[in-house]
Amino acid sequence: MKNGVEYSEALVKFLERSLTSSFNPLYLQLTRKRDNTWDDFYVEVTDSAAIANRDDGSPQHVFEIRTSDDLPTSFYLGFVALFRLTSSTHKHSLQHASLSVFHDIGDIVPLFRAEWDELAALSETSKHAQPHWHFVQSPARIERIVRSFLPLPNEATDFAPSGRESEIFSGLADCGKFHFAMTSLGDGQFRHVFDSEEFQRWFAALTGYIGDQIAYLTKKTPAGGLDVVGEFMPR
C-alpha cells in the first residue's frame, strides 16, 4: 500500500511554486501547520486581496490569475488542502485537495474545481472518480446572475412576477455535483491513490494545464472584457 502524501514544509513550498509559475499572482502565500498541533488543519491561500464564495456559498480566499505579461485575466483561483493525522505513522497526511477557478463577471463566481480525496480513492464502494472535475454553475446561481441584469424588483418582468420570488430553474438538477473523471476509464479504474511523488507530478501538470487554458481563453476574449456585455433586456 502506498504511504500517502505526508505534510512537510518542502511540500508547501512546492505547491506555492506550482501555483506561482502557472498563474503568475501578484502575491501568493499558503498557510502552514501550527507547531506541535495534532489536530486536522488546512493549507490554503492566505492574505489575499479578494474573497469569493464557493458554489456552496462559503467564503474562500482567492488570488487573481495574471498573464505572463503581468496583465489581469478576470479569472481567480483558490486552493485548499486538508491534512489529517495518520494513526499508523503519527504524521499528518493529505486527505483532500481542491483547486477552484472563479470568473469575475461583476461578481467573482465559481466556474469549476479540480479535486482529489484519499478516503474516496481507497473506498471500494465510492462511485466518484478520483481525481475529478466539477463544473459548478448551478441553476440557482445562473438564476441569480440573470436576475442581476434585470430591472429593479418593483418593475414587472417575466422573470420576477410581482409579489413572489422568481423560480426560473426550480426543480432542475444541480449538475455541479457531477464528477468528471481525470483518470482513464478504459480499464474500468476510476480511483487513484497518490503517493507524494505522484501527487506532485499530478499537481504540477494540473496547474500548468489550467494556466495554459486560461491564457488561451484570455487571448480569445474580445477587447474590453466586461465592457462588451450588453444590457440584458428580457422579452
* pLDDT reported for residue 114: 96
The helix/strand/coil state of 105 is: coil
* pTM for the full predicted model: 0.82
180-183 contact pairs (CB < 8 A, 24+)? 180/129, 180/132, 180/133, 180/134, 180/135, 181/129, 181/132, 182/114, 182/129, 182/131, 182/132, 182/133, 183/129, 183/130, 183/131
Q: Which of 8-12, 141-145, 147-151, 194-198 has the lowest mean pLDDT?
A: 147-151
Question: How far is it, in rounded angstroms, from Cα 155 to Cα 149?
Answer: 13
Has residue 172 been placed in a domain? no
Has residue 69 been placed in a domain? yes
Q: In terms of DSSP H, where are the helices of 52-195? A: 118-122, 139-148
Q: Give mean pLDDT, residues 190-208.
A: 93
State the greatest distance between any 2 C-alpha atoms of the chain, in Å, as a whole number: 63
Q: Count the alpha carbons within 13 Å of 224 in the hemisphere toward its beta carbon.
A: 5
Has residue 4 been placed in a domain? no
| 50-53 and 59-66 strand pairing | antiparallel
Percent of the chain with pLDDT over 70: 78
The helix/strand/coil state of 202 is: helix
Has residue 14 been placed in a domain? yes
pLDDT tens digit sequence for 18-55: 999 999 999 999 999 998 888 999 999 998 879 998 88
Instruction: Give 193's strand partners.
Output: none
Has residue 160 been placed in a domain? no
Has residue 175 been placed in a domain? no
* pLDDT reported for residue 187: 66
What mean pLDDT, rounded, does the chain reach? 83
pLDDT tens digit sequence for 53-93: 888 888 999 999 999 999 999 999 999 999 999 887 789 99
Domain count, the chain: 1
* pLDDT reported for residue 176: 64
Has residue 130 been placed in a domain? no
Its domain, for residue 59, covers 9-119+193-221
Has residue 181 been placed in a domain? no
Q: Which of 73-77, 163-167, 207-211 has the lowest mean pLDDT?
A: 163-167
More confident residue, 192 or 144: 192
